[in-house]
Amino acid sequence: MKVLVIHASAGAGHLKAAEAIYEQIQKDTNHQAVLVDALDYTSPFFKKMYRGSYFFMISKCPPLWGFFFALVDLDFLQPLIRAGRRIYNGLNGRKLHRYLCDQQFDYIFSTHFMSTEVSAALKRSGRIRSKIVTVVTDFDVHKIWRAKGVDQYAVASDWTKEKVKTLGVPEKNIVVTGIPTNEKFSGQPDVATLKTKLEIRHDVFTVLLATGSFGIGPIEEIIAKLKGFQVVVICGHNKSLFQRLSREKLDLVKVCGLVDNMHEWMAVSDAMVTKPGGLSISEALVSQLPMIFFNAIPGQETNNIKVLKEHGIGVNSRCIEDIVRAVTTLKSSRDAFMTALKKTKALARPSAVKDIVGLIK
């Protein structure tokens, strides 16, 4: 089988989900797999604009992003939005259209709504015959993920499945797999050995402060309030934050930039203060790591929090004092910690990536 795993590099979650699927195909099957960034098949200007406008809005104007997110989800606007997206993606994704038509993949696994829209449009027109599997990378589902021509939707939870059904997708076309994470996150490492390797204290409650790939949020203010905790800060692409924190050399604060061993940092941590992106949540669930959410992007991340709240998972607050209070409760109350851990285990789907790859028949 020729299998395409495709994403769009606007936010790290879509890429990480695609990488997990691609690596699992390479590891467990004999299929010919290709991993592609859809934006590589657009013009350099469009690629830069697509990424840059997203980063600008979520970091500088999050209410504006939230407004457009809600606007594009309105029922009565869907015919206009679908037509507009088809024109927009048709003009800017000509190379992607040609690539998909030339290659004629047997399966397309899409972890981004742009690549889903393009491949589904080509299938509707008869230009490709690929089986299309859309892997939704959030716990809630925006209407922008819906595209006629998709064969299956792989979704995060039973709640997510019910939401997709309300978008008009038949139940037989929806499979609850969980959001795919690298199998490293479900490993059982020797934590003591790992703490020594990572050069952190063994005897202090450890908080993983994950800023998202863009490294945004009131990070320094949170660190200042987390007295008595060991804090591991993952700064992502925010080099200035990394440099500032590194210069300060704060006691019990371990500063990291963009890392490729997040599974290790999760394994040695007792709780995680994180932006509520779908992939970050799924990785923490599989790692059995209680979560406190902060600095949620209006739209997809605030909706993720709503879904997680239905399962009793995570604490969310804009108030730094509330974040510290939640971490302190997890540290001081074994009952609170074990309850959070039990709920985390209940929603975790460590076999998600294998179940998604298993959709290839």
pLDDT score of 308: 94
The Cα–Cα gap between 30 and 256 comes to: 37
Q: Is the pLDDT of residue 359 over 90?
A: yes
The one-letter amino acid at 332: S
At 71, the pLDDT band (50, 70, 90 cuts) reads very high
Strands of the chain (E only): list them. Answer: 2-7, 32-37, 107-110, 131-135, 152-155, 174-176, 206-210, 230-234, 253-256, 271-274, 291-293, 315-316
pLDDT score of 294: 87
At 213, the pLDDT band (50, 70, 90 cuts) reads low
State how far the alpha carbon of 273 is from the alpha carbons of 34, 209, 244, 289, 327, in Å. 34, 5, 20, 10, 8
pLDDT score of 53: 86
Q: Are 41 and 99 in contact (CB under 8 A)?
A: yes
pLDDT score of 194: 95
pLDDT score of 275: 87
pLDDT score of 165: 97
> Domain end: 125, 152, 180, which one?
180
- 13 and 159 both lie in a single domain: yes
Q: What is the CATH number of the domain that holds 47?
A: 3.40.50
The Cα–Cα gap between 212 and 13 comes to: 9
- 192 and 296 both lie in a single domain: yes
pLDDT score of 316: 82
DSSP H or E stretch at residue 333:
none
pLDDT tens for each residue of 234-269? 998 888 888 998 998 888 999 999 899 999 999 999
> Domain end: 180, 210, 231, which one?
180
Quick check: helix, strand or coil at residue 174?
strand
Percent of the chain having pLDDT more than 90? 77
Q: Is the pLDDT of residue 215 over 60?
A: no
- 140 and 156 both lie in a single domain: yes
Tokens read off for 342 = 């039990």
Query: Mean pLDDT throughout 279-307?
Result: 92
pLDDT tens for each residue of 2-59? 999 999 998 788 999 999 999 999 999 999 999 999 999 999 889 989 888 888 888 7
**Domain containing 105: what range?**
2-180
pLDDT tens for each residue of 105-145? 999 999 999 999 999 999 999 999 999 999 999 999 999 99
Tokens read off for 320 = 């730094």
pLDDT score of 214: 61
pLDDT score of 216: 66
The residue assigned the tokens 């309850």 is: 339
Q: What is the dihedral of CA 209, 212, 217, 220, to 10 degrees?
A: 40
Q: Is the pLDDT of residue 102 over 90?
A: yes
Residues, the chain, total? 361
Query: Mean pLDDT throughout 182-204?
Result: 93
Q: Are 299 and 144 in contact (CB under 8 A)?
A: no
Higher pLDDT, 45 or 270: 270
The Cα–Cα gap between 244 and 260 comes to: 21
Q: Are 168 and 144 in contact (CB under 8 A)?
A: no
State how far the alpha carbon of 159 is from the alpha carbons of 4, 194, 273, 311, 340, in Å. 28, 36, 24, 10, 19
- 208 and 327 both lie in a single domain: yes
Q: What is the CATH number of the domain that holds 285?
A: 3.40.50.2000
SS (H, E, C) 181-235: CCHHHHCCCCHHHHHHHHCCCCCCCEEEEECCCCCCCCHHHHHHHCCCCEEEEEC
Tokens read off for 171 = 């139940």
Is 354 domain-assigned? Answer: no
DSSP state, residue 6: E
Q: Are 96 and 38 in contact (CB under 8 A)?
A: yes
Please state the domain count of the chain.
2
Query: Mean pLDDT throughout 84-94?
Result: 93
Q: Is the pLDDT of residue 162 over 70?
A: yes
Average pLDDT over the chain reads 93
Query: Mean pLDDT throughout 268-293?
Result: 94
